[in-house]
Chains A and B, each alone.
Chain A
Amino acid sequence: MEQAAGAPLRAHGLRPLNLPRPVEVDLDEHGLPRRVVTGALGALRAFEVERVQEVWRVAEAWWRDASVRRTYYQVVIDGGRTLTLFHDDEEHLAAGWYEQRY
């Protein structure tokens, strides 16, 4: 089929769903999330973490170079909602924070 003029180029095939979204996280003295800033630039929203509900670790293909090591935190933010955050353990604790529906 002929490509329509001006159509944007796009990689076909599978597009992952539920990709993690980067967030900014301030930590407390124990290294746990204290404050989360989510959203895009211009529509940022900050939430105070009321408590950390659950912490778990995920290590996938740890025997390979391209391994994935994450620490997930299910946190309760103000208003009672929960967010699932993770920290990419390959990165420094101050960076590499993401939000993801688990």
Chain B
Amino acid sequence: MLYACLTVPALALEQRLAEQPELRSRAVALADESGLRVAEVTAEAAVRGVRRGITLREAVALCPRLAVLEPRPASTLHAAAQLVEAAAGVSPLVEEAEPGTVFADLRGLEGLYPQPGQFEAAMLAAAPMDLPARLGVAGQRFTALVAAKTAAPGTAVRVANEERAAFLARHAVEWLPLVTEHIERLRLFGITSIGEFAALPMQAAQAQFGAAGRRAWLAARGEDPEPLHPRRVVLDSVHERVRPEAPLISREAILQGARQLLRRALRQPRAADRFVRQVRLQAVTEDEQLWERVQPLREPTNDRARLWTVIRTQFEYAELPGPVAELDIELGGLTTETGRQPGLFVDHLRRREQLDEMVRHLRVRFGQSPVAQVVEVEPWSRLPERRYALMDYDP
């Protein structure tokens, strides 16, 4: 078994620094999504005592020349997806452990990359150029992760199986897969390195931290039993995106944009005569806030009206975090199969008759028509409540 770990530590911060490379050498902190606390810091800021979790006010008090950057979750997710694609371009079995850390199973790739270092070079070359990606290769997931963290940006570290315990032993306990309180408890016990933790009897680790302690103990010895959980097979999909010149503010404008995207997506040759199983909607606001909804359909469909109903409902009830700068629609799980068997002689007329019959039935039952239709009254009126009205549907 051989695993690779491709990682960009502090991806959200690195992604922002890639946009403003002049800040790399400065003391910089990335704010968390609430805008109150420090999420990530550069080495220069860490030297001045700025650390994760403290408030921005404290951070600025510690380092008055600190540059504070706002997070851009949409860009971070985009960069994380690029990293996954880089790994997936080399190995078919890929798992994204967290945004910015991707594992790949290297089984069976020896034939493709026979020379030492060939595989590492291919994966690093596929990683985004502007991000300092690091690669670790080892026989276990945790060892590969530690190897990646110790690699210099743009380089790889490969740990041979017989060296794994010695390699892990010299690193700090903070890298163990344990929660912060457990790490602090280990420090109180005077255990500072992975090697010291691995030297404990397994029962002691398990007694202190339960199942997590056992897993961490095995990982510390290079016997990490955690297998790779490859991501699901990517379903075939069509994708349309629009970046309007001015951000969309009104819901009507967003709906118009979405309707246009749906039309374009269904016109793509790949979507012709195929059925959609899942709709994914994304809106990115002016300040890079991300809103996302994934709606699997009860049965596959290629009916534009049905798809539009799904999309419209999602946007109508959406609490969008701000004016929309980018709108994205993905019709996924394209299939040529559908579970629906339409009748040979069912047409629109027949459907209308069924609807009328149903409404008559409901009127008898409830004493009034529970179905209404929207009619135009004064669509030109400047008073919105006079433009349209509901009228009882009376077959």
Enumerate chain A interface residues (CB-CB to B < 8 A). Answer: 1, 3-4, 6-7, 10, 12-20, 53, 58, 60, 68, 70, 79-82, 100-102
Contacts and interface: CB of A to CB of B under 8 A. Distances in A.
A70 B383 CA distance: 9
A3 B388 contact: no
A10 B386 contact: no
A14 B363 contact: no
B383 A58 contact: yes
B385 A14 contact: no
A58 B368 CA distance: 37
Contacts of B368: 7, 10
B47 interface: no
A81 B390 contact: no
Interface string B371-392: 0101101000111111111111
B322 A81 contact: yes
Nearest to A80: B322
B204 interface: no
Given A79-B321, A101-B251, A17 B374 contact: yes
Interface in B226-245: none
B373 to A, nearest CB: 11
Interface in B344-395: 363-368, 372, 374-375, 377, 381-392
Contacts of B377: 14, 16
Interface residues of B, number: 34
A4 B361 CA distance: 12
A58 B384 CA distance: 11
Interface string B6-33: 0000000000000000000000000000
A82 B367 contact: no
A66 B157 CA distance: 81
Contacts of B382: 58, 60
B173 to A, nearest CB: 41
A102 B363 CA distance: 34
A52 B114 CA distance: 65
A67 to B, nearest CB: 11
A18 B386 CA distance: 8
A18 B385 CA distance: 5
Given A4-B365, A82-B250, A15 B322 contact: no
B250 A1 contact: no
A101 B250 CA distance: 9
Nearest 8 CB-CB pairs, A to B? Answer: A80-B322, A7-B367, A4-B367, A14-B389, A15-B390, A16-B385, A17-B388, A18-B384
Contact of A17 (B251, B323, B390): B390
B319 interface: yes
Nearest to A19: B385
Contact of A13 (B364, B383, B391): B391
Given A1-B364, A20-B385, 9 more contacts: A6-B367, A14-B377, A16-B377, A17-B385, A17-B387, A17-B388, A18-B384, A80-B320, A82-B249
B101 interface: no
A68 B374 contact: no
Contacts of B143: none
Nearest to A98: B385
Contacts of A16: 377, 385-386, 388-390
Contacts of B390: 14-17
Nearest to B394: A12
27 contacts: A4-B365, A4-B366, A4-B367, A6-B367, A12-B392, A14-B390, A14-B391, A15-B389, A15-B391, A16-B385, A16-B386, A16-B389, A17-B387, A18-B384, A19-B385, A20-B385, A53-B249, A60-B381, A60-B383, A68-B383, A70-B383, A79-B321, A80-B286, A80-B289, A80-B323, A101-B384, A102-B384
